[in-house]
Chain A
Amino acid sequence: MEQSAYKPGEHPNLPPPSNTVGPIAWVRANLISSPTNIVLTVLSIWFLYEIIPATLEWAFMDAAFTGESRDECRAKAGGACWAFIGERFNLFTYGFYPADERWRIDLAFVLLCVALLPVLWDRCPFRKYGLYFACAFPFISGWLLLGGFGLMPVDTDEFGGFMLTLVIGVTGITFSLPIGIILALGRQSDMPIVRVFSIWFIEFFRGVPLITLLFVASTMLNYFLPTGTTFDLLLRVLIMVTLFASAYMAEVIRGGLQALPRGQYEAADSMGLKYWTSMRLIILPQALKISIPGIVNTFIGLYKDTTLVIIIGLLDPLGVGRSSLADTKWTGLSNEMYLFVAIFFFISCFGMSRYSLYLEKKLATGYER
């Protein structure tokens, strides 16, 4: 026999049987492994066949990329009219921000990326300085966007489009995590006042729809404030969105805290660590790690909820799109508009979700099966 020619322990790795590898095997295992599977495969292929060519035809082959109005688009091609998005791109991106000052938004966006890099990537060169910069970033970007101190002041009601989404989303995400952690710890605290306050806060904000909060922020607050006081609408919205997200965040983190075995808390106590030290060194690192999927879930939810601000008259991308459709030149192009906005949100949210997977993998320390 041929096999006996190998000495014990020196047997080479043989290739797997040919019917278990390669495309044919993959098709067999995944597409036609059972009658149900065969039916599903056929249905899926038929479904894709119906959808994909028509979509491509509409979006690319039969689409008009230039034109001054919907009628010009229609004269050129029967499909999508991307000229609409092209003409309105600046409005979608910058909202009503003064045209001469838009470089400030671009710069703030670039700085946002620079600031995020050291926060999100722990092997970033010069990470320590990068983190200092990230701490300073909110102030720098606030100055860039709002102006003053040498720059032309811009009112927040001129914010709009993707830029508004990013402002609300990034602010909400940045502040809701720490506030959520504090609330989660407060809810488990032994101090009755802190505990009762945290519970009330969380239950109130979780129990009220975000639209209601935004509504209160936009119109009701004026009734309660002294006459004549104005309090920036965007700031009110930012506060409401942050508090709303914090309440959800607190419950997600509480889940993480409760998943830790009691022994971890006791071990921290027996080391003689004070409350905050034990939280910082032992409890929170583990609890937050467990909570990552939930935290990112909340972030994504918050990010998408920013579209609700249209109810109170702030024009986010969806709002800009809707009012653009009211331009007599472009009415009726809602498919193009919604698709464009959907792509933007998908890219942002998918990015967040991939990052959370990366983080989970990186921090995995042996619990997974």
Chain B
Amino acid sequence: MLKSLKIAVMTVALSVAGFSANAATLDDVQARGELNCVVTTGLAGFAAPDENGRWDGFDVEFCRAVAAAVLGDSEKVKFVPSTGKTRFTLLNSGEGDILFRNTTETMSRDADLKLTFLPINYYDGQGFLIRKAMGINSASELDGASVCIQTGTTTELNLADYFRANGMSYEPVNIETNEEGIANYSGNRCDLYTTDASGLASTRAALDDPSAHVILPEIISKEPLGGAVRHGDDQWADIGKWVVNAIINAEELGVSSANVGELCAAAGNNPSINRLCGTEGDAGSWIGLDSNWAVRVIEQVGNYGEIFERHIGPNTPLALERGLNAQWTDGGILYAAPIR
């Protein structure tokens, strides 16, 4: 039922999306004084409310960064929690201004669902979590396994592709959220849990005996995760794009929340830093903001490295390594376009 519902809603949503796209999202957001940011209903490390109801996490920080740039205050965000099925509809219907919801950029979402993707902020890939006791060491031995899989996601499609390409069969156990996935997997209702490797790390950490479970070495897909906005407002898309780029560039240039005040107080010797700080050139005005936009972002939220360390880095329960998500200068593939 949910599936046909989703298709029906998507179809109607898409057919009328063009009419409702509001051209001046920036004006709307500034008039409202609040950024509506679509996030997940909860994914460890990426977005979850704390005990006081304040949202926090890797994705959430990017929402806050956009709010800092556009409204001057990273707290002026209204979070719109969404499931995998509702996220794009919420964005396209105008309920949300921007989406940071560990969403994989794909061609169909970009073109067919009429989204504009922002630069990738996390490079992920889909993996498998399995009990050690099953004695399986490679994904190629998984024929006939039952798999817990979130519906409405790219992981669902990747799984089908992978098993088909390798001539194996599987039995899907459909779930809605990551939390349900943990419950089903730990309750032995499926042999395997599959989702993005970042999610598997947190899932494994949440199990009663993490050492009894193993993440298989195969990564079966590319999952470039990034924010998105709806089609029809290029200026708004540019703002999202350059906020993300500023966060990544800041790390590369060594600008952090600790030293941004000092580095940006006056124009220094490094022109790249000056352009980021707005002390040289006029980058802010190109996207309809003032010259301090990036300073506010870094002051209030931090650079990419800081955000990563705070929520998903080695010192957090998720304990993810930088890996692909290191700067290109450190052997990763984070390579943000320069601000100039």
Contact = CB atoms under 8 A, between A and B. Distances in A.
Interface stretch (B119-127, B199-207, B282-290, B299-307): B199-207
B112 interface: no
Interface in A157-179: 157-158, 160
B78 A88 contact: no
B86 A326 contact: no
B20 A223 contact: yes
B42 A326 contact: yes
Interface residues of B, number: 53
B53 interface: yes
Interface string B7-41: 00100110011011010000010000000000011
Given A87-B51, A211-B5, A218-B86, A331 B182 contact: yes
A219 B202 contact: no
A180 interface: no
A227 B22 contact: yes
B142 to A, nearest CB: 24
A163 to B, nearest CB: 12
Dominant secondary structure of chain A at its interface with chain B: helix
Contact of A312 (B45, B50, B86, B179): B86
Interface in A207-247: 209, 211-212, 215, 218-220, 222-223, 227-228, 233
A211 B318 CA distance: 34
A32 B170 CA distance: 49
A222 B86 contact: no
Contacts of A331: 44, 179, 182, 202-203, 205-206, 317
Contacts of A315: 41, 49, 81
B95 A219 contact: yes
Contact of A157 (B19, B22, B78): B78
Contacts of A87: 51
Interface stretch (A8-16, A90-98, A127-135, A194-202): A90-98
B90 A313 contact: yes
B63 interface: no
B186 interface: yes
B49 A323 contact: yes
Contacts of B9: 215, 219-220
Interface string B70-99: 000000001011110110011001110000
Given A331-B205, A332-B182, A220 B12 contact: yes
B53 A95 contact: yes
A313 B80 contact: yes
A215 B48 contact: no
Interface in A290-329: 310-313, 315, 319-320, 322-329
B177 A322 contact: yes
A72 to B, nearest CB: 13
Interface string B172-193: 0000011110110010000000
A183 B166 CA distance: 58
B53 to A, nearest CB: 4
B22 A96 contact: no
Best-buried of A95, A215, A315, A331 by chain B (most CB within 10 Å): A331
B106 interface: no
A313 B48 CA distance: 13
Interface in A61-101: 70, 87-88, 90-91, 94-97, 99
Contacts of A189: none
A326 B48 contact: yes
Contacts of B165: none
A326 B44 contact: yes
Contacts of B205: 328, 331
Interface string B227-242: 0000000000000000
B1 to A, nearest CB: 7
Nearest to B82: A313
A310 B41 contact: yes
Contact of B50 (A97, A218, A219, A327): A327
Contact of B93 (A219, A311, A320, A325): A219
Contacts of B138: none
Contact of B95 (A96, A218, A319): A218
A328 B86 contact: no
B47 interface: yes
A334 interface: yes
Given A96-B49, A334-B179, A323 B42 contact: yes
B134 interface: no
Given A331-B205, A334-B182, A223 B316 contact: no
A209 B1 contact: yes
B5 A326 contact: no
A220 to B, nearest CB: 7
B47 A326 contact: yes
B264 to A, nearest CB: 32
Contacts of B334: none
Nearest to A226: B20
14 contacts: A90-B52, A91-B51, A215-B5, A219-B95, A222-B95, A223-B12, A223-B17, A311-B83, A311-B85, A328-B44, A331-B179, A331-B205, A332-B182, A332-B208
Q: Which 3 residue pairs of A and B lie closest in terms of their CB atoms, listed nearest first?
A: A326-B42, A323-B42, A331-B206
Interface of A: 70, 87-88, 90-91, 94-97, 99, 155, 157-158, 160, 209, 211-212, 215, 218-220, 222-223, 227-228, 233, 310-313, 315, 319-320, 322-329, 331-332, 334
